[in-house]
């Protein structure tokens, strides 16, 4: 049976000072990246990122940089890849996935990511900072019972007992204490907005008109909606998916199941980071999933794909 390839586009969390280095080793990609307006959108040049990873976690910097790094890797690799069966994006990666699929031009994706980040930051009221917490080891019903109404919400589900909780930062210590009492693993995440929760309602409403004025093309690749795990094939579906995911739970576990159901045998995470490929391997062990960030050269990555995909 012929191999079927899926492309995975990550969200925030894996960004680092060298996240453009592999893609920039290709001169054609470096030239293309120069025309995407990344420095204008993020305030930082891809070739000169600060040495401290913490400096890259500010939302207005992280979102445009993550999508630019993802699209740069796709630009560097696409000529050496077989046609992917589908592309799926996690959080801001869903916007990058629209660029990978050819529905939006890279420069437009980078600009939209910057606007999206600014709108989400505007939802954080003065004196009421937001935060995120990864919780693993609790079923959803049990976790929901611990969340103070209106303050904390399940933002992302990555498994039957694995979730990302987001909301008001002042409410997180109480949840952490409850998790510690129950022997449940809980980890703070370096994200400063309550993405994918009702606290982002205003951002979703303001982002929709920006999407509507963007220049859309027919996607060359099948896309998955992060909130429903259903295929996205038309402009109106993409507009709806990219709007609702700002304020609605991401069902990444369902997306991974949809990838498996599509007959995917090989998955490549474009990076930065390797969280998506790790989660996919753990959930569907028959899929050989790796991240571009695991390779030292584009030639080595292309050779691995040739061996796996033929």
Backbone angles phi, psi at 161, to 5 degrees: -135, 40
CB 2 within 8 A of CB 310: yes
CB 101 within 8 A of CB 221: yes
Q: What residues form DSSP beta bridges with 154?
A: 165
CB 14 within 8 A of CB 73: no
pLDDT at residue number 2: 66
Distance CA 263, CA 221 (A): 15
Q: Output the tens digit of pLDDT for each of the chain's 310 residues.
A: 467 999 999 999 899 999 999 999 999 999 999 999 999 999 999 999 998 888 899 999 999 999 999 999 999 999 988 899 999 999 999 999 999 999 999 999 999 999 999 999 999 999 999 999 999 999 999 999 999 999 999 999 999 999 999 999 999 999 999 999 999 999 999 999 999 999 999 999 999 999 999 999 989 999 999 999 999 999 999 999 999 999 999 999 999 999 999 999 999 999 899 999 999 999 999 999 999 999 999 999 999 998 988 7
CB 123 within 8 A of CB 234: no
Residues counted in the chain:
310
The tokens for 125 are 């009221």
pTM summary value: 0.96
pLDDT at residue number 309: 87
pLDDT at residue number 310: 73
Residue 223: closest CA among 62, 107, 86, 81: 86
Domains of the chain (ranges, CATH numbers): 5-123+198-309 (3.40.366.10), 130-189 (3.30.70.250)
């Amino acid at each position: 049976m012929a191999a079927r390839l899926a492309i995975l586009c990550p969200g925030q969390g894996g960004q680092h000072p060298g996240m453009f280095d592999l893609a920039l080793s290709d001169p054609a990609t470096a030239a293309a990246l120069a025309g995407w307006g990344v420095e204008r959108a993020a305030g930082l040049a891809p070739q000169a990122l600060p040495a401290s990873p913490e400096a890259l976690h500010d939302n207005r910097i992280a979102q445009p940089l993550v999508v630019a790094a993802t699209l740069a890797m796709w630009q560097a690799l696409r000529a050496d890849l077989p046609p992917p069966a589908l592309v799926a994006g996690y959080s801001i990666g869903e916007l990058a996935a629209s660029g990978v699929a050819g529905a939006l031009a890279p420069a437009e994706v980078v600009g939209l990511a910057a606007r999206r980040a600014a709108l989400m930051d505007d939802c954080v009221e003065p004196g009421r900072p937001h935060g995120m917490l990864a919780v693993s080891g609790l079923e959803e019903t049990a976790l929901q019972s611990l969340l103070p109404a209106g303050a904390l919400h399940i933002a992302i589900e990555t498994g039957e007992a694995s979730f990302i909780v987001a909301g008001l930062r002042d409410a997180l210590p109480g949840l952490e204490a409850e998790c510690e009492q129950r022997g449940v693993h809980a980890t703070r995440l370096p994200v400063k907005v309550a993405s994918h929760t009702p606290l982002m309602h205003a951002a979703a409403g303001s982002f929709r008109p920006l999407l509507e004025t963007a220049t859309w093309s027919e996607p060359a690749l099948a896309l998955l909606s992060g909130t429903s795990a259903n295929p996205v094939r038309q402009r109106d579906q993409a507009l709806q998916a990219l709007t609702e995911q700002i304020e609605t739970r991401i069902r990444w576990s369902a997306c991974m199941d949809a990838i498996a159901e599509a007959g995917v045998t090989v998955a490549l995470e474009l990076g930065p980071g390797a969280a998506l490929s790790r989660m996919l391997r753990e959930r569907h062990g028959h899929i050989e999933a790796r991240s571009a960030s695991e390779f030292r050269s584009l030639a080595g990555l292309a050779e691995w794909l040739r061996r796996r995909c033929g």
